[in-house]
Each structure stands twice: as C-alpha cells, then as structure tokens.
C-alpha cells in the first residue's frame, strides 16, 4: 500500500482501478538513414495501426458522442489514406534519407501551413485533423502509443496534469475521479472536474508514475490523498467513509427547497456554474436558483470546428427550457490560455494569459461573435436569459459589444425572428482595470459578475495555473478583498447587482465576508450549492 498526498480540489471518495493517462514527452530528432526501405515500412506499418485505432475510437465514441461528432475520426482515417500526405512523407524518406518520424513531423507542419493559407473555414478545420493524425503516427513510431482515453470500465483517471481539452474527450461514464502529479485548483481542468462533481486531487507528486496503471486505488477528495493497493482494512474503512460521505450528501439534500437566508434575514441567490447542457441536470438536482455562469467556451472545445449558430441555439434553448424560468447567465466565448479548441490555433504568445483571449477574440472576429449572439438572442424566448461578457477592461469594449448586439437585433427584426426584450447584459469583473473603472462601467451594464480566479491572478500577478505558486495564489489577500469591495460599492451606487462566480464563491470560509460586503449572488459548482446554502443559513 502506498499513499500520496496532494491538494484536494473536489470533495468525495472514489474507489476503483487507476487508469494512467500520460502526456508523452517525445522529441523528434532528424536522422539521416541508410536503410530507407526500413523507414518506409515503419511508416506504412504505423499508418495501418493508426487506421485500426481510429476505427476502434469511432466505434466506441459514436455510441455516446453521436455519429456526427464521431465523424471527425472518419475524416482523420481518410487523411491516412490521402495520396498527397503519404507521397509527401515517402518523398522525405526516399529523397532526403530522413527517418520516418521526422518525415511525418515535416508533413504535419507542411500540410498545416497549406491549410492555414486557405481562407476557407472548412479547410481550416483540417489543420487540427492533420496535427492529430500526425501526432498519432508519431506516438506509434516513437513507441508511445498507450493513448486510449477510455479504460472500458469506471476508473480513477490519473495523469501528470490534465488540461480542459483532455477532460471533455473522456467517456464520462467511466471516470470516477481525477488524480494528478501537478495541476492547479483554479485551472480549467479542475473547474471542469468540479462542475462534473467528480472527486479530484492534484499535486500528488512525480512518484505517482505509470507503474501503477491498473492498480486498485482510493482517491480521497475530502483529505487530498491517493492510496494505491490499499490493504483490506483500509479498503473497508474507506468504503465506510464513502458511505458516510454519501449519507452526508443525502442530509444536504434535505435543504432542497429551502431558502438561502441568513439568520438575520438576508437573502442571497445561489446559482450553479456549468460548462455544457448536461450540467443543468446536476444544477437542478442540487436545487440551484439558476445558472450563474455557463462557460460557453466548452461548447467550442467539445466541437470539431466552430459550432454553428443552429448548434449553439439548440444547446442554449435546451438549457433555458430545462431551467424552467430560473435565471440562466450565459457567458460568451472565453477561449485562450488553458482553454483551447483544436481548430483554434492562435499564434504562439509569450504571455497567453495577457494575450489574445476572451472578449478580445470576439471583438477581433465579429463573425464568430455575432454567430454566438444570434444563437443566444434566438434562444432567449425559451427562458430567463442574461448574457455575460468576459475579461472586460474598458467602456469602449462594452460600447463595441452593444453595437454588435444592435446589429444582431436589427437582423433578427428584419427576419421577423423573435427574441426576449428582458435580456440583462453583464460583464465579468476579473481585471484590476475593470475594478478601477467599475463606477463608469456600471452605467453601461445591468450587472457585474466577479471572476475571482482571474481577478486574483491579475491583481497579485500570480499565474493561476502554476502549481509552484499555489501558496501565493490566495483570494484571502487584502488586495483581492479590496477589489471586491470597490466593485460592490460602485455596482450598488449605480443600482446594479453583483455576483461572484469564481471558485472563491464556493470557499465557505469567505461566505460571511462576502455577505458583509453586500454580494447579491454566489455561483458555484453544482455540488457546492447545498453546502453553501447550509453555510448561508448559519451566518448571522
């Protein structure tokens, strides 16, 4: 029995086998070879193996993703049969005497470059396919191909670190929890794990290696530890603890239907954060008063290419309908940094967190933004929708957004398409700039939502993703409190409401302070709605 200690991120206990999903650390070096025939054979063998893998992935994913989404794997298979792609790799081997892996890496760069120069959106989506297929070939050629993302049975997923992209591709039915060597509690992978309500522990250290793949394990998200090969007594003890925890959860469910009122009679809205339409079920299960933050970028990350207006419309409509009149705040696209879509490949940046992300993308690419706005406005008649805009730093941005909204409304009017006239427009307060001009911003919007994850990162100049800086990344810092205080004061002076939707909203040690500061609503991972309700009801 071995125990690794880490940082708890999502509470709960998972018991099952460990499924180790490692990101391969591969280096492709150029080698000049004598035996080109052997390299050609290696390439074709890898190609056939990759086809077999893709066929298997298509079969298993079509069942739960749907045939349309799974069709990306068919497109990738076709690329492996593509005469030009094959010809290019063969030419590098035959004419330049390069090794197979290096030739594939060259093909990946060359074909991505070719597709990038074509302005067609459909062709652009092929860049991701070329990269994925080439990556698959390289893994096979480098002997690093344990790449299945589905263990075929419910397991505890373990990795060096997960990114949000990994998490969205796993078969959710088979994930019991997440354990990582590194990671940060406010990375989007951790946030997503919280949204899914799956026990998670990060920072378990380098020793948690692939040698434990398939071993029996206990992930304790209450304490922040991973026990591998537990002895019989430990297993029994932890099974009892798991039962107790579930019992506790059941007790919390008794708070369903109760108000979020402090002892002194103040009412606080408690909403849930979600990342896709499925999250609504959990939000309703835990009796959330509404959706305080729907991170719409996850729709983009789960899609093989930019989701169309109709695809988005259907998702927003479904969420609004299922929430049956309860508040639904949908945040527009917030891609960038650790939230990347396979088809969205901006130029490499030195400081991506300070770079081309969130509203900056939407305003620079109004076509993409207007597609989303049209979908949102069309869906608005199916429920109680508010729209939230991420990473705002100026009044000019708000005015530019409003101009595009006017255009969208004019288009819908001329098409005689209905939309709600009650949509409130809000902005995320997640930069010190937004806090400092919150008095001015408040005059142009209907509500603020404070994103404490980014606000802490930018106020303290601490990368929210860097596990080495975890002790410095604290929402307890007086500067972060002051930022919240200024924001609430300016919001209320202007007569608008202010919510907190960052992870700090679920930190029960902050609840009393946030209530004292005058916060109107707190939005948290669905499984934290009832613990937060309990805490609010205990507050004076």
Q: What residue spans of 117-231 are helical by DSSP H? A: 121-141, 164-169, 188-196
Residue that the structure tokens 């729209």 belong to = 387
In the complex with Mg ion, the residue whose CB is nearer, 79 or 293, is 293
10 Å CB burial of residue 406 (0-12, 13-18, 19+) is exposed
- Mark 149-188 with x for binding to ligand PEP (rule: CB under 6 A) and - for no binding: ----------------------------------------
501 is catalytic: yes
Strand order in the sheet with 155-159: 2-5, 225-228, 216-220, 13-20, 155-159, 175-180, 200-202, 7-10
357 belongs to the binding site for ligand PEP (CB under 6 A): no
Report how far Cα 242 is from the mean position of its chain's Cα atoms: 27
Which residue lies nearer to Mg ion by CB, 223 or 477? 477
Give the residue with the Cβ less far from ligand PEP, 18 or 191: 191
- Interaction residues for ligand PEP, span 442-471 (CB under 6 A): 451-454
224 binds, among Mg ion, ligand PEP, none (CB under 5 to 8 A by kind): none
Grouping H, G, I as helix, E, B as strand and the rest as coil, residue 527 is helix
Phi-psi domain of 154 (left: phi exceeds 0; alpha: psi -120 through 50; beta: other): beta
Query: Least Å distance between CB 454 and Mg ion?
Result: 4
452, interface contact from ligand PEP, Mg ion, none, CB < 5-8 Å by kind: ligand PEP
Return the closest-CA partner of residue 46 out of 129, 140, 130. Answer: 140
Annotated catalytic residue: which of 188, 477, 492, 539?
A: 188
Interface with ligand PEP, residue 334, by CB under 6 A: yes
170 three-state secondary structure: coil
* CB closer to ligand PEP out of 334 and 386: 334
Smaller CB separation from ligand PEP, 388 or 530: 388
State the DSSP code for 510. Answer: T
Site for ligand PEP in 269-308 (CB under 6 A): 293, 295
Distance of alpha carbon 377 from alpha carbon 227, whole angstroms:
49
The 3-class secondary structure across 236-302, one letter per residue, is HHHHHHHHHHHHHHHHHHCCCCCCCECCCCCECEEEEEECCCCHHHHHHHCCCCEEEEEECHHHHHC
Q: Which is nearer to Mg ion, 11 or 456 (CB)?
A: 456
From 44, 155, 477, 501, active-site residue: 501
What residue spans of 286-365 are helical by DSSP H?
A: 297-301, 309-322, 359-364
Interface with Mg ion (CB under 5 A): 430, 451, 454
126 is catalytic: no
Least Å from the CB of residue 335 to Mg ion = 11
Select the binding partner of residue 357 from Mg ion, ligand PEP, none (C-beta < 5 to 8 A, by kind): none
Cα three-residue angle 271-272-278, rounded to 5 degrees: 140
Interacting residues toward ligand PEP by CB under 6 A: 191, 293, 295, 334, 430, 451-454, 501-502
Residues recognised as catalytic: 188, 501
């Amino acid at each position: 029995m071995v125990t690794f200690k880490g940082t708890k991120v999502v509470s709960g206990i998972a018991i099952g086998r460990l499924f180790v999903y490692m990101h391969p650390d591969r280096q492709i070096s150029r080698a000049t070879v004598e035996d080109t025939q052997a390299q050609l054979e290696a390439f074709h063998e890898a190609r056939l193996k990759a086809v077999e893998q893709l066929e298997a992935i298509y079969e298993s994913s079509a069942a739960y993703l749907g045939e349309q989404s799974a069709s990306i794997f068919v497109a990738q298979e076709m690329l492996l049969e593509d005469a030009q792609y094959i010809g290019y790799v063969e030419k590098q081997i035959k004419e330049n005497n390069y090794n197979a892996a290096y030739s594939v890496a060259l093909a990946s760069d060359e074909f991505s470059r070719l597709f990038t120069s074509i302005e067609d959106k459909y062709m652009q989506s092929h860049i991701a396919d070329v990269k994925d297929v080439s990556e698959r070939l390289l893994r096979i050629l480098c002997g690093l191909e344990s790449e299945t993302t589905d263990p075929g049975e419910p397991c505890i997923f373990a990795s060096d670190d997960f990114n949000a992209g990994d998490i969205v591709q796993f078969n959710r039915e088979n994930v019991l929890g997440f354990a990582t060597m590194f990671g940060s509690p406010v990375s989007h992978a951790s946030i997503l794990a919280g949204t899914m309500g799956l026990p998670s522990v990060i920072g378990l250290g380098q020793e948690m290696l692939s040698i434990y793949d398939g071993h029996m394990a206990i992930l304790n998200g209450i304490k922040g530890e991973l026990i591998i090969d537990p002895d019989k007594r430990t297993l029994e003890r932890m099974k009892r603890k798991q039962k107790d925890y579930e019992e506790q959860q059941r007790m919390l469910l008794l708070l369903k239907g109760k108000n979020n009122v402090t002892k002194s009679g103040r009412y606080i809205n408690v909403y849930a954060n979600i990342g896709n339409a499925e999250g609504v079920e959990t939000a309703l299960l835990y009796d959330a008063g509404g959706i305080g933050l729907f991170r719409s970028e996850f729709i983009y990350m789960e899609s093989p290419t930019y989701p169309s207006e109709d695809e988005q419309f259907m998702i927003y409509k479904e969420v609004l309908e299922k929430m049956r009149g309860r508040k639904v705040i949908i945040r527009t696209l917030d891609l960038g940094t650790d939230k990347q879509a396979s088809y969205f490949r901006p130029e490499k940046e030195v400081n991506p967190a300070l770079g081309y992300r969130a509203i900056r993308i939407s305003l620079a690419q109004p076509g993409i933004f207007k597609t989303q706005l049209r979908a949102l406005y069309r869906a608005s008649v199916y429920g109680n929708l508010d729209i939230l805009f991420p990473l705002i730093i100026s009044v000019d941005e708000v005015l530019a957004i409003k101009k595009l909204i006017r255009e969208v409304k004019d288009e819908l009017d001329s098409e005689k398409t209905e939309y709600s006239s009650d949509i409130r427009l809000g902005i995320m307060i997640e930069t010190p700039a937004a806090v400092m001009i919150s008095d001015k911003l408040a005059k142009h919007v209907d509500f603020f939502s404070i994103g404490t994850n980014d606000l802490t990162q930018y106020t303290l100049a601490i990368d929210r993703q860097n596990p080495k800086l975890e002790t410095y990344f604290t929402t307890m810092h007086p500067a972060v409190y002051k930022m919240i205080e200024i924001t609430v004061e300016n919001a209320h002076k202007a007569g608008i409401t202010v919510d907190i939707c960052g992870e700090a909203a679920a930190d029960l040690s902050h609840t009393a302070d946030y209530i004292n500061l005058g916060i109107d609503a707190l939005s948290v991972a669905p499984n934290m709605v009832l613990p937060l309700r309990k805490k609010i009801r205990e507050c004076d």
